[in-house]
C-alpha cells in the first residue's frame, strides 16, 4: 500500500503575510506539518507544493522528501486546492516511479491537530471500503437550525435551515459540524474523479475545537500561539 502526504503552501497570503513560514514554538509553520507527517510513519514520499523558493527550501530543511515548483496558474489566490493536490500526486508518481493508493493532505495553517488525528483519519478511510474520502471537522458553534441566519430575497433575516418543528434551545438542534481544513484523505482514484471535497461517500472525522483552528487572520494566529503554549508535542 503506497501512501503519500501532500502539503500545499502558496507563497502569497492575503489574510496574514508569509503565514506559512511564520515561527510557531521556534519552528516555521510549515515545519509542524512535515514533522507530524513523519511521526505517523505512514507516508513516503512527503511532498510539498509551493510557488515560493523560500518555502520549498524551508520544507527540504525540515525533512520533506520532495518539493514541487507549483505552476503559476495553480498558485493564484483564486486557484482551487484539488487541482494542486492532483498535480502533486502526478509529480510524485513521476519522480518516485510508483502508483499511489492513498493521499493524505495536511493543511499548513492547521498546526494544532495531533499525530493521532492524522492516523485515525487515515484508518477511517482504509477500514470503510465504500467511502471515497475523509474530511475533518469540529462541532459547530452556531447552528443553521437555531442561530445562523441569512438574508432572503425580500431583505429579511431568516434561519439558514428551517427545522421541521420549532426549536427553543440550542441543545435540541441536530448536530452540525464546521469543516476545519486540517486533514483530507482520499483514495487515489477518487481524488482524480472529484471536483469538491464532499461527495455522497465522504466520511467525517471529528476533532475538538482546540485542535481545529485554521490560521487565516492575525486573530487566528494569536489564538494558535496561545494554545500552542499548552502543547508538549509541538
Q: Are residues 135 and 166 in the same domain?
A: no
Residue 23 covered by a domain:
yes
Q: What is the pLDDT of residues 134-146, one digit of tens each?
A: 999 999 999 999 9
Q: Are residues 160 and 106 in the same domain?
A: no
Q: Are residues 154 and 193 in the same domain?
A: no
Per-residue burial over 136-154, b if 16 or more Cβ lie within 10 Å, else e, is: bbbebeebbbbeeeeeeee
pTM: 0.93
Q: Are residues 149 and 185 in the same domain?
A: no
- Does 164 have pLDDT greater than 90? no
Q: Give the C-alpha separation, 108 to 11, whole Å.
A: 12
The pLDDT assigned to 78 comes to 84
Lowest-confidence segment of 60-69, 71-80, 222-231 by average pLDDT: 71-80
Give the mean pLDDT of 153-178. Answer: 89
- Does 181 have pLDDT greater than 80? yes
Residue 233 covered by a domain:
no
Pick from 175, 192, 220: which residue ends a domain? 175
Q: Are residues 76 and 180 in the same domain?
A: yes
Q: What is the pLDDT of residues 50-70, one digit of tens each?
A: 999 999 999 999 999 999 999
203 Cβ contact list (under 8 Å, min separation 6): 124, 125, 128, 131, 133, 134, 135
Q: Are residues 97 and 42 in the same domain?
A: yes
The pLDDT assigned to 185 comes to 98
Q: Are residues 86 and 109 in the same domain?
A: yes
Q: Which domain holds residue 164?
A: 141-175
Q: How many domains does the chain have?
A: 2
Whether 30 and 62 have beta carbons less than 8 Å apart is answered as yes
Q: Are residues 26 and 131 in the same domain?
A: yes
Amino acid at each position: 500500500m503506497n501512501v503519500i502526504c501532500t502539503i500545499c503552501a502558496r507563497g502569497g497570503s492575503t489574510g496574514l503575510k508569509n503565514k506559512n513560514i511564520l515561527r510557531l514554538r521556534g519552528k516555521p509553520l510549515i515545519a509542524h506539518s512535515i514533522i507530524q507527517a513523519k511521526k505517523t510513519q505512514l507516508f513516503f514520499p512527503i511532498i510539498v507544493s509551493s510557488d515560493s523558493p523560500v518555502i520549498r527550501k524551508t520544507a527540504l530543511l525540515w525533512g520533506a522528501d520532495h518539493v514541487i515548483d507549483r505552476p503559476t496558474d495553480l498558485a493564484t489566490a483564486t486557484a482551487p486546492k484539488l487541482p494542486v493536490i492532483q498535480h502533486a500526486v502526478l509529480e510524485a508518481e513521476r519522480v518516485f516511479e510508483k502508483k499511489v493508493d492513498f493521499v493524505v493532505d495536511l493543511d499548513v495553517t492547521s498546526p494544532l491537530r495531533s499525530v493521532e488525528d492524522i492516523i485515525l483519519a487515515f484508518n477511517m478511510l482504509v477500514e470503510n471500503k465504500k467511502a471515497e474520502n475523509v474530511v475533518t471537522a469540529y462541532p459547530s458553534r452556531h447552528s443553521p437550525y437555531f442561530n445562523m441566519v441569512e438574508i432572503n430575497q425580500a431583505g429579511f433575516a431568516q434561519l439558514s435551515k428551517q427545522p421541521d418543528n420549532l426549536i427553543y434551545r440550542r441543545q435540541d438542534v441536530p448536530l452540525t459540524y464546521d469543516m476545519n481544513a486540517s486533514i483530507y484523505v482520499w483514495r487515489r482514484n477518487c481524488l482524480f474523479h472529484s471536483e469538491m471535497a464532499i461527495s455522497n461517500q465522504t466520511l467525517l472525522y471529528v476533532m475538538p475545537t482546540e485542535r481545529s483552528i485554521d490560521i487565516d487572520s492575525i486573530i487566528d494566529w494569536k489564538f494558535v500561539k496561545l494554545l500552542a503554549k499548552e502543547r508538549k508535542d509541538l
